[in-house]
Amino acid sequence: MYELFAVVTPGLERISWEELKLLGFNPLEIEPGGIKMRGNLESIYRINLLSRTISRLLVRLGNFHAAAFSELRKKAGRLSWEEFIFPGLNISFRTTCHHSRLYHSKAVEERVAGAISDRLGEKTQSILPNSIGNTKSDQMIIVRLNNDECLISVDTSGDNLHRRGYRLQTAKAPIRENIAAAIILATGWDRQKPLLDPLCGSGTIPIEAALMSRNIPPGLNRQFAFMQWKNFNRSAWNQIIESVKTSEITPAPIIIGSDRDEGAIQISKNNAARAGISNLIEFNHCAISAILPPKKPGFLITNPPYGVRVRSNKDIRNLYAQLGNTARLLCKDWKIGLLSSDPYLLSQLGFEVEKSIRFSNGGINVILGRGFVPGDQ
């Protein structure tokens, strides 16, 4: 059993907690920016494959006091590196130092690299850290020093888990796939009622909804860091893949994405084709006022433009007002979920939405507005 940490966009921890429980895992504790868990190798495989909302999964390898470089190297050398690292593997470090005597991140990385070499019995030079950003590594190691307490973790995911592999093209201001999935879950979509995104951009929200509706795992067509480990069990992995492929799926709901930008609609169609769910989504080139939602009540979930200097940007205010007017006219009694950078913009909808979920999207602080659309007054 390993101590695991699911990295989550700060502010979305509760959504990921509920998702992990629904997937059959047993999260232990929410920490800022993630969720603490315990699990075995199969847990690592399944979480990476199945979770739609987390950013990556770490194995917490060791936690100890280190106030000197010699102490850091000695204690780091006691960790079970041989489970995850072998000579010649291309490794990289992500290191942060706060309020600690060991404040030089590169020096910390050199000592941890030396500790790995001590443990494996190889020359230090054979596994010196590569620079993140310059070299794509096979295995990333995360080192956190805070008040002279050192936490060392091994990444199990490789590329960030939002990289599903289907989105090779993006429109303006794209939303990450895992955040799109999180706001769909937070809005309460049941995978059966219609779902409409009238500002779909590159199609991420409708595509994530379609993948959910057919129980298609988000990590089905990608590689993971744990596949490099010596104890990687290919047979167990293949069995997990076969089990999810044969899992029961629900009838396909109506999913619609529309946008006034014809180029964005073509990008959406291309992305949906790569995801293998083109037949599950209807993409329309039209303005908000021209949408044709199903008569059956459903969910309106979207990520409108945020704008800069919101109160002075009349176009953005008008967009939210138009969205609210159209929703009241055509989507009465639908549930709504939309991101906004400012409560003032949400007030332009013309009806109240709940604003308790706040996080950062692309470096911009945003609010998820959730609620019911009232009828046209």
- What's the CATH number where 45 sits? 3.30.2130.30
Please enumerate in sequence order all residues whose Cβ is within 8 A of that of 207, keeping only pairs 6 or more positions apart, or say none: 166, 167, 177, 268, 271, 272, 275, 277, 281
Q: Quick check: is 366 in a domain?
A: yes
Confidence of residue 293 (pLDDT cuts 50, 70, 90): very high
- Which pLDDT score, from 0 to 100, does residue 125 have? 47
Residue 151: how many CB atoms within 10 A of its CB? 17
| 355 in the same domain as 298 | yes
Mean pLDDT of the chain, nearest integer: 91
Both 146 and 202 in a single domain? Answer: no
Residue 181 in this model has a pLDDT that exceeds 60: yes
Domain count, the chain: 2
For residue 57, is pLDDT > 60? Answer: yes
Joined together, the tokens standing for residue 304 give: 């409108």
Q: Is residue 172 part of a domain?
A: no
Sign of CA dihedral 350, 355, 357, 361: positive
Distance (Å, rounded) from C-alpha 174 to C-alpha 190? 24
User: pLDDT tens, 186-229?
Assistant: 999 999 999 999 999 999 999 999 999 999 999 998 999 999 99
For residues 298 and 344, state if they share a domain.
yes
Q: Are residues 334 and 296 in the same domain?
A: yes
Residues 183 and 58 in one domain: no
SS3 76: helix
The amino acid occupying position 108 is V
pLDDT tens digits, one per residue of 101-144: 999 999 999 999 999 999 998 654 455 554 443 456 789 999 99
367 and 343 Cβ atoms separated by less than 8 Å: yes
Instruction: Identify whether 233 is part of a domain.
Output: no
- Residue 211 belongs to domain with CATH number: 3.40.50.150
Q: What are the angstrom distances between the C-alpha of 358 and each of 12, 26, 316?
A: 8, 25, 20
What percent of the chain is modeled with pLDDT above 70? Answer: 92
CB–CB of 45/237 below 8 Å? yes
Q: Are 51 and 123 members of one domain?
A: yes
Do 185 and 109 fall into the same domain? Answer: no
Q: Is residue 248 scored above 80 in pLDDT?
A: no
Q: Give a yes or no: residue 272 inside a domain.
A: yes
The verdict on residue 11 lying in a domain is: yes
Q: Residue 128: give the domain boundaries.
A: 2-155
The answer, as to whether pTM is greater than 0.75, is yes
Query: In this predicted model, which residue has the larger pLDDT, 293 or 250?
Result: 293
Kindly report, residue by residue over 13-41, the tens digit of the pLDDT.
999 999 999 999 999 999 999 999 999 99
